[in-house]
Amino acid sequence: MSIQEDIQQLQKELAHHAYLYYVKDAPIISDYDYDVLYRKLVELETAHPEYIVPTSPTQRVGAKVEGSFEKVVHGQRMLSLSNVFDDAEVEQFGVRCEKELGHAPQYVVELKIDGLAVNLHYENGLFVRAVTRGDGRVGEDVTANVKTIQSIPLIIDNAPPFIEIRGEAYMPHKEFKRINEEREEAGLQTFVNPRNAAAGSLRQQDPAITASRNLDFFAYAIGSSEGSNIHTQQELLEQLEAFKFHVNPHYKVCQSIAEVVEHIHYWDVERHNLPYDTDGMVIKVNDFEDQETLGTTAKDPKWATAFKYPPEEVETIVKDITINVGRTGVLTPTAELESVFVSGTNVSRATLHNEDFIKEKDIRIGDTVRIHKAAEIIPEVISVVVDKRKSDSVPYEMPNACPVCESPTVRREGEVAIYCSNEHCPAVEKEGIIHFASRDAMNIDGLGPSIVEALVTNHRIETVVDLYHLKEEDITSLERMGKKSAQNLLKAIDDSKQRGLGRVLFGLGIRLIGAKAGQTIAKYFTSIDSLMNATIDELTNIDEIGPTMAKSLVEYFGNERNRQLIEGLRHAGVRLEEEVQEAAGNELEGQIIVLTGKLTSMGRSEAGAILEAHGAKVTGSVSKKTTLVIAGDDAGSKLTKAEQLGIPVMDEQGLLDLIKDF
């Protein structure tokens, strides 16, 4: 086989594995094996650039966009949808369709994804352009950014000479939560909701930033096309799946408008369990001939409409505004609320983000406010009910001194956050230690916030290095800590020394470096010494590490106090290297496994690494695609959901039996 054929084979193979991973959620090789293939392709393409094609998996992240985005006219207008808001209006839509058609049509009901509409152009099966909806006639060319969305195929088989694929780019809840936490810690403005986050991500000048935000895409329509032979919306969705697009699986073909209403009622409750935002249901007449008969108005199709669920908002009272000092020194205000039930849980606190957020909404202590849950997860104040404000209320002012150490507060140029000016503030040190001990960092079992608080307050520790010099009597001197508890904690601290460089990097709390980035960097450099001397250019050579993250790393390691901290960890015996795990076998190929509860023989991360080394995909949530749940002690909702779905469940002994022969 020639070099060109080798490259083409690898490009095709990697594209197939990306489809299985990002669209079907059913990988057949481990992440490590994928990385090996990807690196091999990079090496071959670097040596033979004449064989690089735009659709290669290595070309998803391109160069920065210079200036504004180019305007593009849509081949076929991207119409908006009319809205209906209750059962009666849905039924009226059905009556009108039946009257104009002279018969009762079938309907397809789809979830209305709350994201950004995008139009994808394919020529002879090759992805060539992505355009935002814009005003429906003209949109913006965001090809470089959309190309980073892994669930969008760069090649589609058996496609007509030209076709426009339309759908919704969106941000999953877990990414929204992760990004906002990182932005808040970095003193940056947080996104209001996942839709705004997705829209902002698609309009970045640097595609690497878009790539780091892990957007996804659901395809649901076709625009202009040459030679397509599709007769119904159901066939269209099936064709999009055949093209290997991510199609939302929750659509339903309904035989009557009454069935449509019933389906809408079902999703009014169930939609809160989805890992992404929806703001309604889209109702479409199924048959394309019927659609053509019904036609369109100047703005929207008469054969489709969108049912909008009313937002779940409630009123409550701001009893107080408290300030928390985080591990980066950021002062975060929180509204202490009268407890109120919203979207399935009681809510008594809501973050107020920063000074600008409070001033923009003019939130004051004693105000009646309207709240909801952003992304169905995070309680958020929407607005103040000014008519109910007390006459003696006064605007809230952020403190000009740290509430913990009383040092002056500062607001850095270009940032929205207010910081404690004391980098040795006890709150910063304490929160840093709590973070260092957390599950995704060093995973020190038993070292929770209350124990860290006691150790700091009683002057047993000041930095994370001090953890590794604790003695039994240091711990037993604390309230409610006996000898056995102290021995268990010391063992957990000692065990954490072997977590590896990736965990240490995340545990150090370096600005903008999350758990995933820590592992990625550690696998690339493998030792702390080579990383500490890396340049920004060397760091940005790593996939998913952009210039802002690289600058943060260089600044961190350029600080002498941080270098002394790392030396202290080294002398304490903490492993500051990363072992790159090689694939050990494929015995669990095709298995999608969830670990839940407490394992006594090993940590969940260690168990997950073993399972992945033998071909399994280990995920954090239970779904219909999950093939096995391994439940340790105190397993909670994930075990319950597995039992409800009839997914096989294995205990810790079963896990040990499973892996002993590997």
State whether 396 and 448 are in the same domain: no
State whether 149 and 295 are in the same domain: yes
How confident is the model over 291-317, as a mean pLDDT?
88
Q: How confident is the model at residue 75 (pLDDT cuts 50, 70, 90)?
A: confident
Reported as a single tens digit per residue, the pLDDT across 339-379 is 998 876 788 999 999 999 999 999 999 999 999 876 556 78
Domain hosting 613: range is: 592-659
Q: How confident is the model at residue 63 (pLDDT cuts 50, 70, 90)?
A: low
**Whether pLDDT at 299 is above 60:** yes
Q: Which of 410, 440, 462 is the last residue of a domain?
A: 410
Cα torsion for 463, 467, 468, 471, to the nearest 10°? 130
Beta carbons within 8 Å of 2's beta carbon, 6+ residues apart = none
State whether 488 and 528 are in the same domain: yes
Cα separation, 496 vs 504, in Å, equals 10
Measure CA 468 to chain center. 34
Separation in Å, CA 355 to CA 351, 416, 632:
11, 7, 43
Cα separation, 409 vs 318, in Å, equals 24
Phi/psi for 592 (5° steps) reads: -115, 110
CB atoms under 10 Å from CB of 310, counted, come to 9
Q: According to the model, what pLDDT value does residue 194 have? A: 87
What is the 3-class SS of 195-214, one letter each residue? HHHHHHHHCCCCHHHHHHCC
Domain count, the chain: 5
Reported as a single tens digit per residue, the pLDDT across 190-238 is 887 888 889 889 988 888 888 889 999 999 999 988 877 899 999 999 9
Q: Which of 386, 410, 434 is the last residue of a domain?
A: 410
Look up tokens 């878009």; give the residue.
Answer: 210
Q: According to the model, what pLDDT value does residue 64 have? A: 57
Look up tokens 């270098």; give the residue.
Answer: 563
**Whether pLDDT at 584 is above 60:** no
Handedness of CA 134, 135, 136, 139 (dihedral sign): negative
| 74 within domain boundaries | no
DSSP letter, residue 581: P
Look up tokens 């439940």; give the residue.
Answer: 631
- Residue 628 sits in a domain whose CATH number is 3.40.50.10190
For the purposes of burial, counting CB atoms within 10 Å of the CB of 516, is it exposed (0-12), middle (13-18) or buried (19 or more)?
middle
State whether 48 and 107 are in the same domain: no
- Residue 448 sits in a domain whose CATH number is 1.10.150.20
How confident is the model over 149-168, as a mean pLDDT?
93
Question: Mean pLDDT in the chain?
Answer: 88
| 162 within domain boundaries | yes
**Whether pLDDT at 136 is above 60:** yes
State whether 474 and 406 are in the same domain: no
| 415 within domain boundaries | no
**Whether pLDDT at 623 is above 90:** no
| 581 within domain boundaries | no
Q: Which of 251, 273, 308 is the last residue of a domain?
A: 308
State whether 392 and 437 are in the same domain: no
- Residue 46 sits in a domain whose CATH number is 1.10.287.610
Q: According to the model, what pLDDT value does residue 583 have? A: 55
State whether 513 and 630 are in the same domain: no
Written as six digits, the tokens of 522 are: 């550690």
State whether 97 and 235 are in the same domain: yes
Cα separation, 544 vs 61, in Å, equals 9
Q: According to the model, what pLDDT value does residue 241 have? A: 94
State whether 367 and 452 are in the same domain: no
112 is an active site residue: yes
Reported as a single tens digit per residue, the pLDDT across 414-471 is 788 899 999 889 899 899 999 999 988 999 999 999 999 999 989 999 999 999 999 9
How confident is the model over 309-321, as a mean pLDDT?
89
Which stretches does DSSP call E strand in 20-95? 71-73, 83-84
State whether 157 and 281 are in the same domain: yes
| 202 within domain boundaries | yes
Which stretches does DSSP call E strand in 148-297? 162-170, 216-225, 252-254, 278-285
| DSSP string over 364-419 | -TT-EEEEEEETTTEEEEEEE-GGG--TT-------SB-TTT-PBEE--TT----E
How confident is the model over 12-27, as a mean pLDDT?
74
Written as six digits, the tokens of 148 are: 């980073």
H-state helical runs in 133-172: 143-146
| 609 within domain boundaries | yes
| 585 within domain boundaries | no
Q: Which of 12, 24, 71, 112 is catalytic?
A: 112
State whether 105 and 246 are in the same domain: yes
Q: How confident is the model at residue 60 (pLDDT cuts 50, 70, 90)?
A: confident
- Residue 402 sits in a domain whose CATH number is 2.40.50.140
Q: According to the model, what pLDDT value does residue 480 have? A: 84
| 78 within domain boundaries | no
Cα separation, 545 vs 528, in Å, equals 17
**Whether pLDDT at 57 is above 70:** yes
Among the listed ranges 87-91, 197-201, 307-311, which one has the minimum average pLDDT value? 307-311
State whether 131 and 250 are in the same domain: yes
